[in-house]
Amino acid sequence: MRRAVFALTLALAPLAAGAISPDEVLPDPVQEARARDITKELRCVVCQSESIDESNAEIARDLRLLVRERIVAGDSDDEVLAFVVDRYGEFVLFRPPMTPANAPLWLSGPAFLIFGSALVAAVIRRRAREARRPRLGLSPEEQARVDALLNE
């Protein structure tokens, strides 16, 4: 059963491969699956919004081949990612690790969410307080006196 699943995966891989050309596909389905998982985590340095798995840029093809070479050489997934990051920097990772250098980027999202929530809560609280406050108006006697003064 397992072999049938791998054979089916290998047979259908070119249909779902996106930018991957048939000459890039590894003969071992397990290694190919690892390569696909890794290339989906790496950003194309040219396209920037696409993974190297989806990109048609020449550098993306070179990186896909590099990843496959490292896998065939026996590197683990972490070693392959570390090799690419050493060459191109953390920018190539779609999910970079949290380090002191990029901690402000990781923390800015939750900080803005907390700040925005506090701001919305303060506005709602202020409006509710204003709605409960009685409207100051003139009593009927005071209104009659103002009308009398204006008509003189």
**Angstrom distance (rounded) from CA 130 to CA 123:** 11
**Can you give the pLDDT at residue 15?**
43
Mean pLDDT by 10 residues, the chain (152 residues): 62 53 78 90 86 88 91 91 90 86 88 97 93 80 90 82
Nearest to 42 by CA among 97, 87, 81: 81
Residue pair 59/46 in contact (Cβ under 8 Å)? The answer is yes
**Can you give the pLDDT at residue 16?**
46
